[in-house]
Amino acid sequence: MRSPLLAALALLLCALARADPVADLKHTLAQLDGQEPVKASVTYAFWSRTGEDKAPVIQEATINATAEEGQTGLKVGWSHELIQTIAAEKRAKSEDPEKRTPTQRAMDDLGAGTLHGYLNAAPGLALTLERAKLVDDQPAHWHDRPARLLTFKLNPPLSKKDREVIREADATAKIWVGADGFPLAEERRSRLKGRAMLVITFEFSSADTFEFARVGHRLVVVRHVQENSNAGAGEKGQQKTTTVLALEK
């Protein structure tokens, strides 16, 4: 006769086999309602290269901000030094239209909507799952932490105008879920190819990596790295951005 221990183990294995990892993750995300107050110091850096290979235009900048969210809403803080740098860029551009304003561009990139999404990551991740199909589920590690790696095929929505020019679209997502059921990280990749005006072909690819942390019932992005490239009409472009949020107690 099978021992009670072996019987319990068999029942546990059967339960694990029947578990729905996507439903479990959705249930977990639904509980992360973002009620706890949170504050972070934010560092944002970008680098971009556009134009022809022989005469590329390169821009780069690093800026710092503070972001705080609670019952009264979202507060974003910029230093006086940053404001003065942007004012100097604007003065220089008014005298020479060819001058670039990378600091202003960085501030525009790191807007209130972006910061709110970083401090409330659960809704965005849940929305990704609504347009995703699970294709693989494997044990894994995220750095030195045991995890479950879920791989998805994505079906991103395209506007009517986009569908007229995009001929190929491929998008995937990988989500590392910790032993406690909460997401540790996400990686998204996408690639688009198409043709505009019958003769102009273009291609775009992007890769995003997000690392998460929990603040009570709030899921926060603590690091986001994005790399993308595009080519079309004889032009090429590349961009990399890195955002780091240092949570304050």
Position 230 pLDDT exceeds 60? yes
Average pLDDT over residues 106-130: 95
The pLDDT-based confidence of 210 (bands split at 50, 70, 90) is very high
The pLDDT-based confidence of 1 (bands split at 50, 70, 90) is very low
Amino acid 199: pLDDT = 62
Rounded CA gap, 147 and 142, in Å?
6
The residue that leads in pLDDT, 138 or 235, is 138
Amino acid 10: pLDDT = 45
Residue 236 lies in a domain: yes
| Structural domain count of the chain | 1
Rounded CA gap, 208 and 228, in Å?
9
Average pLDDT over residues 204-212: 95
Domain that holds residue 95: 22-248
**pLDDT-wise least confident of 97-101, 149-153, 164-168:** 164-168
Residue 64 lies in a domain: yes
Task: Identify whether the C-beta of residue 147 lies closer than 8 Å to the C-beta of residue 177.
Answer: yes
Residue 213 lies in a domain: yes
Shortest CA distance to 78 belongs to which of 89, 69, 86, 70?
A: 86
> 100 phi and psi, to 5 degrees?
-95, 160
Residue 10 lies in a domain: no
Residue 8 lies in a domain: no
**pLDDT-wise least confident of 49-63, 110-124, 135-149:** 49-63
Q: Which helix (H) or strand (E) holds 128?
A: helix 121-130
Task: Identify whether the C-beta of residue 191 lies closer than 8 Å to the C-beta of residue 208.
Answer: no
In tens, the pLDDT along 11-53 reads 444 444 447 999 999 999 999 988 889 999 999 999 999 877 7
Q: Which long-range contacts (CB under 8 A, 24 or more apart) does 196-203 make?
A: 196/165, 196/232, 200/232, 200/233, 201/232, 202/230, 202/231, 202/232, 202/233, 203/230, 203/231, 203/232
The pLDDT-based confidence of 175 (bands split at 50, 70, 90) is very high
Spatial CB neighbours of 67, under 8 Å, sequence gap ≥ 6: 39, 40, 42, 74, 75, 76, 77, 115, 118, 119, 245
Residue 4 lies in a domain: no
Residue 143 lies in a domain: yes
Position 181 pLDDT exceeds 90? yes
Residue 193 lies in a domain: yes
Average pLDDT over residues 165-170: 80
Position 97 pLDDT exceeds 50? yes
